[in-house]
């Protein structure tokens, strides 16, 4: 295990691996991940990468769609950096082996077809080419099945992280000249989510414990079309591209109803569709209906989704697919500048854990993989200027004392995690009330956890609830009502 590295990257999704690839040109890189390298939300991302590549499309149109979906809450400078960086991001991924389909797809919130896919599991394809690319770099090492416990902060600067390997009790440390949080999302704070089991907001908790504030964390995006049948702690996502190809959302009477909520119906932004499905579910099940779309086209475009549904004895071309809205993506996070730097010197953040401001109050479909690659490159470009001064840095890790952390029985940890998920889903979910937020805060604090993993989750939940309470009016993915919805 490396005790010292130039760049420590915490997380192995598209954000972490792209950053590792770019930073490997500047020095030694260590990538650590809670599970195995492929155990990330990137692996399950389906839609694609939004980019202006077609002649009939324009950068201004992509920018406008992003700003509109973000409900005027975006950082326009960050949006422009992302949108104008999209063609280079696609070109980079192609250069390391990603195969892109010839025709773009249409997704909700986009005024034009500009979502470029490699397959119906684009995230997995992106991850695989990145893994192969970074494995060829001799100066990139991996720490798998390793928890980041706490950031090392000394004299007002981040100098690495305290870590815990393979469920061992011993806390070790890795010193770094620069540390990058690429820890992904927080979906597992909710009982219904598309996110993998490790997505509990650890990066956010470590940032807060290091003295940083979070931004826009009340804007949790709920995806409207996840398979209603959970498996292994998560719900399988049914890509927005399905609706872009004509799939309808119908109620128990097989009636389409989204046009009652928004004239764009199936192609309305996720926050609107999620709330519509949520309300309709109060009177019965909701389904995704694609039976009217050409069977050959469906089977050709969505082989992986079809294969996944087969495990549940379902077929897109023959069955109504039961759906439900679930926690999917955190639009806010650790605030950064346009080079990925946080307010803590030595610490950077990229991907879902970061808040660049590109998503505002609600994320536009297929901007997430794009954001990760564009800002990973921005971090490397920013740090390239400091390589000469970094050479003189010598971080003495012997002076850092490991924190005293308590590790409880794993079954107790899981039980606390389930309780947190239930509290957050019932009170801080798609529809929120002032009473529910107050109730959730009290119940989260009352959980008698001593284990650092649950304390991380409690801290992030508390920050989310605080942010919700500080914004009594509805905006984007944050929807407040005075009525208690049952």
Please give the positions annotated as active site.
270
What is the spatial distance between Cα 218 and Cα 330, in angstroms, rounded to a whole number? 8
Rounded to an integer, what is the distance from CA 252 to the centroid of its chain?
31
Question: b/e string for 106-116 if b means 16 or more Cβ within 10 A?
Answer: bbbbbeeebbb
Between strands 321-330 and 248-250, the pairing is unpaired
Question: b/e string for 399-431 if b means 16 or more Cβ within 10 A?
Answer: ebeeeebebeeeeebeebbebbbebbbebbbbb
User: Are the beta carbons of 330 and 239 closer than 8 angstroms?
Assistant: no
Between strands 220-227 and 321-330, the pairing is antiparallel
Concatenated DSSP letters for 438-457?
Answer: HHHHHHHHH----BHHHHHH
Q: Give kind and range of the element (H or E) at residue 337.
A: none
What is the spatial distance between Cα 423 and Cα 428, in angstroms, rounded to a whole number? 8
What is the spatial distance between Cα 73 and Cα 71, in angstroms, rounded to a whole number? 6
What is the spatial distance between Cα 21 and Cα 135, in angstroms, rounded to a whole number? 9
């Amino acid at each position: 295990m490396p005790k010292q590295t130039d760049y420590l990257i915490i997380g192995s999704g598209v954000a972490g691996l792209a950053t590792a690839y770019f930073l490997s040109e500047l020095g030694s890189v260590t990538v650590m991940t809670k599970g195995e390298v492929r155990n990330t939300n990137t692996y399950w991302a389906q839609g694609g990468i939004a980019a202006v590549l077609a002649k009939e499309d324009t950068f201004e149109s992509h920018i406008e769609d992003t700003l509109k979906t973000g409900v005027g809450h975006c950082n326009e400078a960050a949006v422009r950096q992302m949108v104008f960086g999209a063609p280079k991001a696609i070109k980079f991924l192609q250069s390391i082996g990603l195969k892109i389909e010839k025709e773009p797809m249409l997704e909700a919130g986009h005024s034009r077809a500009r979502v470029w896919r490699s397959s119906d599991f684009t995230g997995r394809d992106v991850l695989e080419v990145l893994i192969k690319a970074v494995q060829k770099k001799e100066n990139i090492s991996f720490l798998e099945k390793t928890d980041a416990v706490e950031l090392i902060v000394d004299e007002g600067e981040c100098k690495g992280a305290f870590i815990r390997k393979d469920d061992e009790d011993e806390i070790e440390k890795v010193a770094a000249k620069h540390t990058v949080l690429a820890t992904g999302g927080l979906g597992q704070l909710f009982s219904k989510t598309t996110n993998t089991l490790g997505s509990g907001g650890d990066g956010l908790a470590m940032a807060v414990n290091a003295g940083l504030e979070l931004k826009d964390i009340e804007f949790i995006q709920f995806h409207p079309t996840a398979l209603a049948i959970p498996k292994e702690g998560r719900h399988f996502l049914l890509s927005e591209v399905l609706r872009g190809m004509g799939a309808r959302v119908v109620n128990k009477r097989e009636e389409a109803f989204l046009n009652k909520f928004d004239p764009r119906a199936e192609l309305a932004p996720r926050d609107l569709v999620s709330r519509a499905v949520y309300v309709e579910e109060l009177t019965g099940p909701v389904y995704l209906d694609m039976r009217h779309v050409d069977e050959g086209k469906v089977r050709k475009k969505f082989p992986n989704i079809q294969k996944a549904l087969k495990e549940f004895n379902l077929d897109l071309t023959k069955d109504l697919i039961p759906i439900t809205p679930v926690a999917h993506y955190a639009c806010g996070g650790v605030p950064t500048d346009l080079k990925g730097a946080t307010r803590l010197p030595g610490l950077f953040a990229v991907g879902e854990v970061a808040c660049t401001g590109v998503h505002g109050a609600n994320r536009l479909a297929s901007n997430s993989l794009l954001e990760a690659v564009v800002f990973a490159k921005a971090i490397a470009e920013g740090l390239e200027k400091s390589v000469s001064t970094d050479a003189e840095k010598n971080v003495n890790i012997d002076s850092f004392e490991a924190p005293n952390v308590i590790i409880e029985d794993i079954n107790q940890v899981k039980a606390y995690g389930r309780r947190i998920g239930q509290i957050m889903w019932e009170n801080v979910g798609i529809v929120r009330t002032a009473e529910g937020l107050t109730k959730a805060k009290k119940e989260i604090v009352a959980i008698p956890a001593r284990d650092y993993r649950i304390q991380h989750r409690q801290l992030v939940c508390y920050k989310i609830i605080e942010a919700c309470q500080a914004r009594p009016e509805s905006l984007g993915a944050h929807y407040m009502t005075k009525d208690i919805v049952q």
